[in-house]
């Protein structure tokens, strides 16, 4: 979701599709959804994850230019800048617009599964694998920090420890 401040300032310019452009001019087309006054990027968003090889998450900064173009900068979850791959010519990712309405549906309720692309909250899983060192095992305990608890609403969480 884009910040409400963006919607308040630029809401009249929001269109159905947006283009995200990185520092190396790679472009990612995304579908824009408007729900209950908020603006979301949906379909096409996953291509960023695949292109940058993001496995557990990242922070994406957006700078609105005009005509629904955003310059983006990605950082990993530790704040380190993720450098965009270089291609000549730059990559241009387009979304499949089959079965996508050209205009916003003004009747969508908040947090609806009716948007063009959504996460199923009943089937959402994040896996984080870490290799324990000899020191970790010798201490006798494992500290599990869930940095994403405040972002997602969990109905359950599981921790599996596997020995080799």
For residue 71, the domain's CATH number is 2.40.330.10
**What burial class does residue 14 get, using C-beta atoms within 10 Å of its C-beta: 0-12 exposed, 13-18 middle, 19+ buried?**
middle
Q: Of 2, 120, 123, 149, give the one whose Cα is nearest residue 72.
A: 2
**42 found inside a domain:** yes
How many folded domains does the chain comprise? Answer: 1
- Print pLDDT tens along the chain (164 aa): 677 888 888 878 888 899 999 999 999 999 888 877 778 888 888 888 889 988 777 889 989 988 889 999 999 888 899 999 999 999 999 998 887 777 776 666 665 555 554 445 454 444 555 666 777 667 666 555 544 444 444 445 555 555 54
Task: Kindly tell me the number of DSSP H helices and DSSP E strands found in the chain.
Answer: 3, 7
Q: By the 8 A CB rule, do 28 and 17 touch?
A: no
List, in sequence order, the alpha helices (H) in 11-124: 46-52
The residues with which 30 forms a beta bridge, in sequence order, are: 18
**103 found inside a domain:** no
**46 found inside a domain:** yes
**56 found inside a domain:** yes
Cβ-based neighbours of 39, under 8 Å, separated by 6 or more: 1, 2, 6, 7, 11, 14, 32, 33
**101 found inside a domain:** no
**112 found inside a domain:** no
**78 found inside a domain:** yes
Which domain range does residue 38 map to?
4-93
**35 found inside a domain:** yes
């Amino acid at each position: 979701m884009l910040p409400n401040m963006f919607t308040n300032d630029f809401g009249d310019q929001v269109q159905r599709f947006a283009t995200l452009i990185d520092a190396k001019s790679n472009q990612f087309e995304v579908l824009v959804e408007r729900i209950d006054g908020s603006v979301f990027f949906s379909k096409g968003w996953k291509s960023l994850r695949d292109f940058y090889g993001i496995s557990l998450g990242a922070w994406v900064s957006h700078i609105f230019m005009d005509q629904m173009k955003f310059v983006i900068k990605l950082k990993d979850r530790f704040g380190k800048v993720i450098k965009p791959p270089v291609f000549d010519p730059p990559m241009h990712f387009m979304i499949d617009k089959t079965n996508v309405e050209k205009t916003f549906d003004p009747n969508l309720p908040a947090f609806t599964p009716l948007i063009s692309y959504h996460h199923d909250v009943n089937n959402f899983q994040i896996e984080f694998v870490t290799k324990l060192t000899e020191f970790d095992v010798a201490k006798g305990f494992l500290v599990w920090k869930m940095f994403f608890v405040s972002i997602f609403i969990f109905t359950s969480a599981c921790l599996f420890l596997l020995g080799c």
